[in-house]
Amino acid sequence: MSTPLTLLSEDELAFQQTVRDFAQKRLKPLVSEMDQQAQFNKELIKEFFNLDIMGIEIPDQFGGLEADFFTSILAVEALSEVDPSAGVMVDVQNTLVNNAVVRWGNADQHARYLSKLSSEWVGAYALSEAGSGSDAFALATTAKEAGDHYVLNGNKLWITNGAEADLFIVFATVDKDAGYKGITAFLVERGFEGFTVGKKEDKLGIRASSTCELIFTDCKVPKENILGEVGKGYKIAIETLNEGRIGIGAQMVGIAQGAYDATLAYVKSREQFGKSIADFQGVQFQLAEMRTMLEASRLMVYNAARLKDSGADFLKEAAPAKLYSSRIAEKICSIGVELFGGNGFTKEYPIEKYYRDAKIGQIYEGTSNMQLQTIAKMELS
C-alpha cells in the first residue's frame, strides 16, 4: 500500500504513518471483538486522545494540534483502513463537532469546551430525526425560551458517537413559523436535566460505532450554550456538513484501501490449478481496476480537502468526492469478496466486514441521491 509522495509533505507523511502504525498495533487486534459486540473499546478512545487525533484543528492553547483540515482527513483515512468505526468516531469529532465549536463558538464556549474536546470528551452532532433525514430541516425538536435558558423537547435519531459522547451539538427550532430560519444550534452536555441517550441501533456495518436515539424531555439548556446566534442553526449545519462530506469521503477511501490490501495479499497466497490466482490475467485485470478506482477517489477527496484549507470554494468538489468514493468503496469491497471466493463470505476473513461497512457511505451525511441533486444544482446555477 502506498500514497503518492507528491500529494503529501514530509510532515503529513510522518503523521499519516504514525496513525497507520497505531491502527495496526492497537486497533487491529480489537476490530473483530468490537464488531461482534457492537461496542467501542473505552481504553482505545483514551488512546485516541493521547495520540492527539481527537483535537486536530483545536488551537494549541486548548491542548489541540492546531493543524489543518487535511490532517484530519489523513487521520480518518488511516484509521478506516483498519476499522471504519474508528474512522467515523474521529471524523465526527473533528470535522463536525470541533469544527463547529471552533468556528461558531464564542470565547466563553471555547474556554469551557475546547480543552475537554481535545483531551477527554467525545462529541456528537445531532441533526437527524425520524421525519428529517434527507429533508434535514424538517425538524420536530423544539426549543422554547424560558428566562435564562431554553427548554428542548423532541427526539433525535441515528446520532453517531451517541453512546460515548459528553457534548452534543443539537439542532432545534425556536420558531416553526420561521421555517429553517428558526433553527438554532445548542451545546448540550450529557448531564443536562431532561436529556437522555436512548436505544443504540443494531446495524449492518460499522457496528462498533454507536448510533443512538437522543431524547429531550423538558431539557434545560442555558442561553450561554447557544452556538452561534438564534436562528442561524441552518447555516451552521449546512456549512459544517459540507466539510463533513469530505470526512466521509476519507473514510470511504480508507475502507477501499483496506479492502484492496487484504485482497491483494489473499490472491498472492491463494493457489488454484497449481499456481497463485494472482497469476491469472482475469484476476490481474480486476486488481488493476480496483487500484485505479481507489487512486481516483483518493485524489478527489484530497483535492476537496486542500481547497477547503486554502479558503477556496470547495462545494463543487466535496459532493462528487463523497459520491464517488462511497460508490468505489462498495465496488472494491464487492470485487474483493468475489476474489476471496467462499472465504470472502465468511467472518474468518476481513473482506466481508469491509463490504458491510462500505454501504453506509452512500447513506449518511447526505445520501447519494442528495449528492447527485447537489452536483446538478451547482452545475445548472
Catalytic residue ranges: 365
Hunting for cell 457534548 — which residue is that?
A: 167
Q: Cβ–Cβ contacts within 10 Å for residue 310, how many? A: 11
Phi, psi of 99, deg, nearest 5: -55, -50
- Grid cell 446495524 — which residue? 203
Radius of gyration, CA atoms only, the chain: 21
E-strand ranges in the chain read: 123-126, 142-146, 149-160, 167-173, 183-189, 195-200, 211-222, 226-227, 271-272, 275-276
Eight-state DSSP code of residue 93: I
Q: Which residues contact 182 (CB under 8 A, 6 or more apart)?
A: 173, 174, 175, 176, 231
d(CA 160, CA 95): 13
